[in-house]
Amino acid sequence: MSTERMLNGLSAKLIKIRESFNQTITQMAQQLRIYRGNLVDYEKSKSMPSLSTLHRLGICYGVSLNWFILDKGPMFLSVEEDQKNVSPNPLDELENPLSGDTVELLKYMDKIPLLRHEILVQFHRFKEEHREMVKEAFESKPSA
């Protein structure tokens, strides 16, 4: 997904959220603790909200960041519903042993939703920017 398409998608979603709460740009900006001009820029696809703004969006409006950033799941998702989709210990389900750093990262991502969303955004950005490398990595035969 290109940056322009991603910005356009986030813009449309911000407008949808704001309108579903019958708020003006000024009211939503105050709620998110950002400048009105920043929200205008987000809604006009000129820039992308910061992670702290995304976090407040999730907290203040109950918006699922999976929906907002990744187009996954419903627009609004309660914490209880979100936790139903996570296995009690996702590390138990892995077939291959993981490095200590990877295990630590997964544990932090499980406990800190904002970190999980930040990592997923970077992951999807990487896949988009390095499409050929990713394709080659999954087409190559594993070494014995």
Fold of 3-139: 434 Repressor (Amino-terminal Domain) (1.10.260)
E-strand ranges in the chain read: none
Q: List the domain boundaries for the chain.
A: 3-139
Q: How far apart are CA 117 and CA 109, in angstroms?
A: 8
- Across the range 101-114, mean pLDDT stands at 78
- Across the range 55-74, mean pLDDT stands at 87
Whether 73 has a pLDDT exceeding 90, the answer reads no
- Across the range 44-54, mean pLDDT stands at 91
- The Cα angle at residue 103 between residues 108 and 122, in degrees rounded to 5: 60
pTM value is 0.54
User: Is the model more confident about 131 or about 85?
Assistant: 131
Six token digits for residue 142: 């594993």
Q: How far apart are CA 42 and CA 45, in angstroms?
A: 5
